[in-house]
Structure 1
């Protein structure tokens, strides 16, 4: 049996389908792999703390703390946050030791140390790790007052050692969450298409919707857009310092391009939504479209929604070309607007603005289709094992 046929049979078998679903779930939830790596790194760091010479071995629990800090994010951020944490710990030690040199551990010294450390923690260099300045200063002042040298050495040394263990684990199995960011972009695309369908549905009635009815048809695009931006930015950050990111470079580039495309569509859809909900309502004396223009406008919006969905839904050459179908619908709307100008009083500025916005949509979808075809050809070599190795 040829290898390709054998591979196909394995993938379509029950075991292959089950394995594929498990891998899909695994890659869609990067926190699972993060939890596994943090657990392994913490366990190794614990043994490092236990096997360390005294007095470090008296405080072995600080080593897993450093390991967790280093494995709870991407490789690039892991290195950055580890250096920030070590610097914050050292500064906290300095603050506590200076206070201990002049004041005994009591309420006044604690208040002074916490106040100074909290101000120092706001230094931009520390980022989100600034809290370790205050925590370390308080620990050293209160817990380590009996044997400050031993405690400081154990706390700072073991946290650093544990962080090095975590960095090593993260470097060996670096995260590359391309599948979750793809899913976030899918969610944005579907939300945009659903919004267009809702607008089209609102225009198909005998009368335009009221402002309240338009509000019910309005989707919250902002949070979905921010989620997709954050997911793509996180995936881009994860590729830095990642030894197997080059294997998926075509996927990463295509994803960045897709993110920009969908952001441009989000701007267009938001503009179309504002335009229709403000000018084509039952409360407006002279609606922008009216009963003659609402049907072709609804058809154009529905075609725009289908074009967005079809961009990545299939590569079947027998399917109609989405940009062509959208272009024809927009052309029909343009002809109707021209005819209505000769029949109706008024300048139909809002209707013309709708046509211009949909013209931009036609051009954007056409560019997207061409870019997607080029990206698909570029990434054919990596498609077969996308979900297998993208994230450890």
Structure 2
């Protein structure tokens, strides 16, 4: 049993959808039970609106549950008021349906409602068609019981909050592996006597952008889950580390995309396009391979960053000593070296002897604690200023 429990927890940690499904089912059940226990004719007639509100309000984080529940309830109220008001003014003839649909469609575009705007049109039609016998009672039941369900969903998410650090860690590893694979492909192409042609390069290249966007979305969800999370205090340092690593990898991803485009163009020259000199291809491949090793071994015991620094230093020296037929060729080679130097800066790779970083290094954006000043959420009295100070790196 003791061995099975960590395995089960690990399984659930990497599958946050299971936790979300459990919280949604629990919130819907509780909302249904509470609605049936309430006195009055409205909860007795329309109890199913309570679990509907719970389903609408269940999201992966406490903040998103509050935000989307508020938007959904606002949209429902707008739809109910629009339908009842229009029916009172125009009567219940056929003409009222296109008028309500027209106005509800316009109102659904309200920026505040965001993704919940469709509820305006849905509720407006339901009040006209389904609640035709008792429109006011139906509208009250829809709005009040949906609000009840949304409150239950927020309460469940607050008591059983999620902190998807495992999912964010997986996204970090996926991006690092994707970048390393692409760098290895570039290095292998540079080492060949006959570089790949345009068609073969197209087959080798991998799109980094979707993986980078997936990491960004995962990191934002993790940082948002800190707000209102009663259990977040013990994981704040881990969230901070993931943020710093994520920013570094995103910066490296941008540089790798630039290097990929530049090297593919340089190795497949056409007409007067620039070409990378043969003498620089070996050092460039060595530097790319060293960067790939660093990306794959960030969590390992052995620090491979000094080897990356030396590889980039040798490439820079070779670029300085090389003879170029035109200034454009020199600029292209210099751009490759600059791109690798910026990868050093993003990964905070320093000269092992002087402990100074390259001039191309840049400081990642510091992380600001998601909770606003004065709010609660399990973070105590740690203010944003203190977090900025802890995350800020001195510009070198």
1:103 deviates by: 3.3
Counterpart of 1:107 in structure 2 is: 94
Q: SS at 2:348's partner residue?
A: helix
TM-score by length of 2: 0.82
Match of 1:251 among 225, 238, 241: 238
1:273-302 per-position Cα deviation (integer Å, ceiling 9, x unaligned):
111011122656786333332222111110
Check if 1:358 corresponds to 2:340: yes
What is residue 142 of structure 1 aligned with on the other side? Answer: 129
Indicate the larger mover: 228-237 or 358-367. Answer: 358-367
Q: Give the match's secondary structure for 2:202.
A: helix
State the SS of the aligned residue for 1:107.
coil
Over the aligned positions, Cα root-mean-square deviation in angstroms equals: 2.2
Q: Which residue of 1 is the match for residue 363 of structure 2?
A: none
Question: Is 1:220 paired with 2:226?
Answer: no
Unaligned runs of 5+ in 1: 1-14, 371-392
Structure 2 Cα separation of the partners of residues 356 and 134 of structure 1: 54
User: Matched residues in 2 for 1:323 and 1:168: separation?
Assistant: 47
Which residue of structure 2 lines up, in the alignment, with residue 381 of structure 1?
none
Relative to structure 1, the CA distance from residue 286 to residue 88 in structure 2 (aligned partners, 3 Å threshold; closer, same or farther) is closer
| Aligned residue in 1 for 2:77 | 90
SS of the residue 2:228 aligns to: coil
C-alpha distance in structure 2 between counterparts of 1:334 and 1:127, whole Å: 50
- 2:30 counterpart of 1:48: no
Greater share of helix residues, 1 or 2? 1
Whether contact under 8 Å (1:207, 1:291) holds in the other structure is no
Q: What is the distance in 2 between the residues matched to 1:31 and 1:231?
A: 13
TM-score (norm 1): 0.83
Q: Deviations over 1:198-255 (max 9, x none)?
A: 1001111112221222211211011111111111111111111111112211011111
Q: Displacement, 1:339?
A: 4.0
How far 1:87 moved relative to its partner? 1.7
Quick one: distance in 2 between partners of 1:222 and 1:307?
20
Q: What is the CA–CA distance in structure 1 between the aligned matches of 2:107 and 2:184, rounded to whole Å?
A: 53
How big is each residue's C-alpha offset from its partner over 1:12-57, in whole Å with a ceiling of 9 and x where there is no partner? Answer: xxx5554333322211111111100111111111112222222321
Q: Structure 2 unaligned segments of length 5 or more: list them.
A: 356-396
Q: Relative CO higher for 1 or 2, CA cutoff 8 Å, sep ≥ 6? A: 1
